[in-house]
Amino acid sequence: MGKVWFVGAGPGDPALITVKGRDLLARAGALLYAGSLVSPAHLEYVPPECECQDSKGMTLPAITEWLITKAHQHTTVVRLQTGDPSLYGALIEMVRPLDRAGIEVEVVPGVSSAMASAAAAVESLTLPDITQTVILTRVAGRTAMPEGEALEALARHHCTLCLFLSITLLHKVQSALLAAGWPPHAPVLVVHKASWLGDEKLIRGTLADIRDRCRAEHLSSQALIIVSPTLGARHWPTLATSKLYDATFTHRFRKGEGNSQEMPP
């Protein structure tokens, strides 16, 4: 009986897969990859004899049956998913049938498109005195949101919002945030295919015009929306800085200048 590994491929660039994930691909006997989202370049890591299957046209029962079958034939079976398997990755619904079949599973995390999008734009999702909170969420579409998780309610926190699977619902994003008290001039960043060489596209705008800007670029999939009071901080005239590197701040590795406080243990 083999083991099934759920591996996060990262946001797109094959170099952003973890070393552990890459090494698992290199020894995989069978690979099931999400071909609609995972870059084909990841397949260059697998050995020639590896059984590769694209899952983009498969149903959940077909996926789990394939994984179970291959786990009886190979020591290492990899399910390669975009980003991180634990975030919008349908992980648990795939794992449960494997559990019932007595097949061991393990998850290897991956770089989320939320982090890759912030990196592509050289933005920070948190800043001292601005926000220390990041909400990863989506807009209600064909998949409903649980009670209390409507975007308008979450947006009232006025922290950083990273919106997945919502690029075709920008009108709902605009309505929800305006209703939550965000101003029309609030900055918005949309990143299409973050880290994909030759395909990555950054679109900056405001809550008022971001929908029109994305329409002009014909974006309809694989885009991450960031709405945050931290956007553009790189060019602000002044900025509150972290206490960790403040010369007067004492911590367990350094005593602050002019500070009589005892070093913490």
72 and 48 within one domain? yes
For residues 161 and 100, membership in a common domain is answered with: no
End-to-end CA distance of the chain: 48
Mean pLDDT taken over the chain: 94
SS3 of 190, please? Answer: strand
Dist CA 208 CA 7 (whole Å): 38
In a domain, 189, yes or no: yes
Work out how many domains the chain is built from and give that number: 2
Q: Cα torsion at 177, 179, 181, 184 (round to 10°)?
A: 60
Full residue range of the structural domain in which residue 134 is found: 113-235
Claim to verify: residue 118 and residue 60 sit in the same structural domain: no
Q: Say yes or no to pLDDT of 229 above 90.
A: yes
Task: Assess whether 20 and 99 both reside in one domain.
Answer: yes
pLDDT band of 169, cuts 50, 70, 90: very high
pTM of structure = 0.90
117 and 98 part of one domain? no
The CATH number linked to 166 is 3.30.950.10
Q: Which pLDDT band, with edges at 50, 70 and 90, does 157 fall under? A: very high
Could you report the per-residue pLDDT of 82-110, keeping only the tens digit for each? 999 999 999 999 999 999 999 999 999 99
Is 176 within 8 Å of 154 (Cβ atoms)? no
Element (H, E) at 51: strand 51-54
141 and 126 part of one domain: yes
7-51 residue pLDDT tens: 999 999 999 999 999 999 999 999 999 998 999 999 999 999 999
Element (H, E) at 213: helix 210-216
- Residue 204 reports pLDDT greater than 80: yes
Backbone angles phi, psi at 127, to 5 degrees: -145, 145
Query: Which residue matches tokens 């299957």?
Result: 53
CATH assignment of the domain containing 32: 3.40.1010.10
Cross-strand pairs, 83: 10
Residue 254 lies in a domain: no
More confident residue, 220 or 134: 134
